Amino acid sequence: MMQQPDRRNDGPPGFPRGNENQQNNTNTPANRGPWWRRNLPWLLLLLVIPWVIFLIWNPNSSNSGEQVSYSQFISQVQAGNVASVTITDNSASGTFKKAVQSDVSSGQPNTKFTTTIPNLPSDQTMKILQDNKVKTVGGSSNGSNFLFGLLFQYGPVLLLIIGILWLSRRATAAQGNIFSFGQSRARMYMGGKTKTTFADVAGVDESKVDLEEVVDFLKNPQRYSRLGGKLPKGILLVGPPGTGKTLLAKAVAGEADVPFFSMSGSEFVEMLVGVGASRVRDLFDRAKKASPCIIFIDELDAVGRQRGAGLGGGNDEREQTLNQILVEMDGFDPRQATIVIAATNRPDVLDPALMRPGRFDRQVVVDRPDRNGRQAIFGVHTRGMPLGPDINLDVLARATPGMVGADIANICNEAALLAARRNKDLIDMRDFEDAIDRIMMGAQRPLLLPPEERRVIAYHEGGHALVALLTPGSDSVHKVTIVPRGQALGVTQIMPLDDRHNYPRSYLLGRIAVGLGGRVAEQIAIGEITTGAENDLQNVTNLAREMVTRWGMSSRIGTVFFGRDREVFLGREMSLGQQRDYSEETAAAIDEEVQRIIGERYSYVEKLLGMYRPLLDEIAKRLLEKEVLDEPELRAIVGNVPPADVVRLLEESEALSSDGAASATTSVGGATTMQPA
């Protein structure tokens, strides 16, 4: 498997596109069960509390004295060791003159005692007490404890009634919340509470310049109003996911020190029709009262898609919410100094009425950072981290092309976790390199492979690496490994020397050649082809088709655009069947041209690897021994290759590409027979 980092959204296939984040609130009272089941612990607690109080405070409990037998009680009375006795219905309690060890329990000697009087004539016990001149007091079990008994009998019922009334009030309040659906759920941060500033944002210097003017608008509106300038009503932040759009909006509020209302576009829309529009009205009413302030709507495309072109008609809840947003933005008073900032990664699906001046006056592009920007982002995210002396942020920025701020934050976090797992006090360069490998290539898998399969993988990855090393203009090979990572049995990691923004035709042809290097190496060295090139063939085919249909890089087809959007959105015109705006003859010509380009690159790679077969064997041998080869080791293996031979092969391949269709068909015929069905 060959892996190459993504750089731009509009580049060759394999580059990520933004997706939508929708939130569904399923934590409603109707979905949590009946009220008695939700509050069952409270009901049980109300029933248990009275009995606990009774066990602790009951004056007739066993805590009032040591339990003794009736015979021991009589013997102590006759021995003159009983000071006083209190007799109730069927029990007696009192105190001994001297502590006595009970024969009922194994506790310590105690001066207080209690005993149970058996079913004997009551005058017999009283006679023994009177004969021994023991002070006797008569008592009743229902006398002094009358109030406690009353509380014990009726207390649980009273507590249960109080609990039911309290739960009923809660249930009534929950039902009343139905009428609060229309209230805004925006999170409000008052001035001074938003601690994020422009010092916490790096890698998007051009976007910060545009937003600094907005901060100045909020701080000094009179400077612009005296010249007839008006505060912009809306600012749209456009860029791929993870580039820091939300962070920039918070930084604007932090710099201007004004209230900040934050809400996602999907939070406006509910199942009930009209709720979204009501929430929009409530949000803008709250913002007008707190002006000057900032309203931030994240993922605007969730509610701002084009109207009237989706399935199911145009009069739905989302469109009513969008209409209310348009009305509220038109009704702004310029003197209120309220700015709407929205973020999206798909501005092409937004409604034109939302994009016009007067609603969103500015579009600020928050693009992927370049190498200097990535270095600054590393500096922000490593602030406060204990770094080792070998850390080089410039090297880390070079090793992460195409990554955005969220990716870099993830790398710094992974490096810190790896250093902690290794019981280190400082985070060194090895931790960052391992974190980058883990994120870009996947985690290592302890997979035991047979020797023959390891040999096939070694030649496959060696073919990718050797073609990339020998092809002029190709990106450099950063690392080759045959250790299984993620879903791949082996990975060839290719890193560019610098960020690319335009892709020449020769560079794209070189990428196709590198992608075919693994399959050709299997054929030359093993004499058999395997299924390991599936992902490579998919990427190569997509790239060749993009060259023909989208970028006009085919002399046979011409400079005509035949591509269509591959993603279908409800805000765009949608058809159940895939349509194209060109004929079947043109489609057949496109297929033939794609096959011709791939076949010519296949022939070039066959000649290249056949000419330098000893280098391929040496790379495969080193991979089987060490499992991982980095760039310096690979450069040392191919250091003595004369570049003139490779240039000659490329010139022959280009000459073949400029020939007629007959020679191209011959080349394609040899290539297609080698690919499995």
CA-to-CA dists, residue 549 to 68, 543, 560, 575, 665, angstroms: 103, 10, 7, 21, 19
- Residue 399 phi/psi, 5° resolution? -85, 0
- Residue 488 phi/psi, 5° resolution? -105, 145
Determine whether 299 is an active site residue: no
Candidates 221, 336, 341, 235; CA nearest to 290 is 336
Q: Residue 201: what residue type?
A: V
> How many residues comprise the chain?
677
Radius of gyration of the chain (CA): 41
Residues 6+ apart with CB under 8 A from 652: 604
- CA–CA distance, 159 with 298 (Å, rounded to integer): 48
The beta strands (E) that lie in 366-502 are given as 476-481, 491-495
Q: What single string gives the DSSP state of each residue in 170-235?
A: HHHHHHHGGGGTTS---EEE-TTT----GGG--S-HHHHHHHHHHHHHHH-HHHHHTTT----SEE
Helix (H, G, I), strand (E, B) or coil at 479: strand
Of 255, 461, 600, 606, catalytic: 461
Go through 606-641 and write b for each residue having 16 or more CB atoms within 10 A of its CB, e for each that does not. Answer: bbbbeebeebbeebbebbbeeeebebeebeebbeee
- CA–CA distance, 229 with 222 (Å, rounded to integer): 9
Residues 6+ apart with CB under 8 A from 392: 429
Catalytic amino acids? Answer: 461
